[in-house]
Structure 1
């Protein structure tokens, strides 16, 4: 499927970012799934979607197909490093995650894309936009702020990762049995059924023939301080392209008092809250989420490079 992106017309070829502007550190080759045939008429940048912590690309496949069918824009669902079928790495810094994404752009011949990211994936998308603004046609961030750190990240998530690591699979021969064992051992800490399904989706047959967690729990725990907070080295930089933050009204991941500092990094940012939704906005109210997302994607899909560089 990779060659299909070479069919995207040369309209986007002038959106080139000098290599000197991007620092590639421990870049890994990300796993991804392409929805669509890599073309659109008129030509529009593809939409890349990034998941939350312990999530994977398949979480976004249903919403991605709806976006594809309505906007006729190719959608690429991505497994970020240390998740899903992507490689494990010692680092889980956001700048490294963003470098992975930029390498994937190069691999697929993508010169400009719209980005959608939820929570950790939203921060990764923000870093991509700040590191390579010419590569980003539009930025949509789902329930996460680059300013404040949600208590959930520092209180619940470390306990969740520790509980996952402590699960005893007892050498099961079937994935279904392993997931049942994990559910039984995690039910005291995970009360939300959707989150439970997300977590259990990480129980699979591994390359070594054993059944267990495919996400890199050790790496995520080791790098906790790096992904629970947003990088501070973007001071003085900004992405001036169209930016939409969609927050859950009942969530504390995007605080109203963050708006001023958010707009220092993303001057054109608009923040909207979906009523009666928590952190998984797209699950709690998929209809409203899709309406906001599709409206944003239809309005913002191509930019002259000059207005989006500070």
Structure 2
């Protein structure tokens, strides 16, 4: 057996192993969500098939008693403002850094990169005090503002794409009397569509799955989002793993569908930004 054949075999084995590691927990959650309370009480294994593969009672219980509809609505509002704000702030910041010459420009870029390396939890005490002082605690505005103002990665993605746009387009527009904002709105922003698609998808999935910020800044039950509503199953449904699993499937399904449909935009956006 040649060395290349051994390497290829090991590569495929590692891929199969990684696939099994990823899919087994998902399969266990899905199968558990279809089991009845009696099956769980009898000690049915996590990967054992349920008696009724069409048993959707747990999903109805999780959706109604877990207030999932309200959680989806709150999540949608946060996603709308957070993603829109991130796209505008990130693209404008990247445009200003790349196209304008000002003192300490390199220092600003370095500070952005340094800020991305600082764990968010280390600054939460100060952040909490600031949010509370503005009266945004226990409101939807707290996560919206935090999501918009702390996404250094999005700024970096936009910066790579802005640098690839020829400055000759800006100069031609200025000869026609266009100002800086007009150039951004009519030239730069339309050419950032691949970066915008990447940021929207990545930011949307990250915000949708985030638990820490909504849990810390929105303790009221009527402000629950998808992630915190799932956590609250731990209380009244603490022993009913079939209901918890059904709630988990309801939470996972939207992001899974979005990722499968739009994954090529994610990969293309990162690859094009990295090679510019």
When normalised by structure 2's length, the TM-score is 0.27
Which of the two has greater strand per residue?
Answer: 1
Higher Rg: 2
Which of the two has greater helix per residue?
Answer: 2
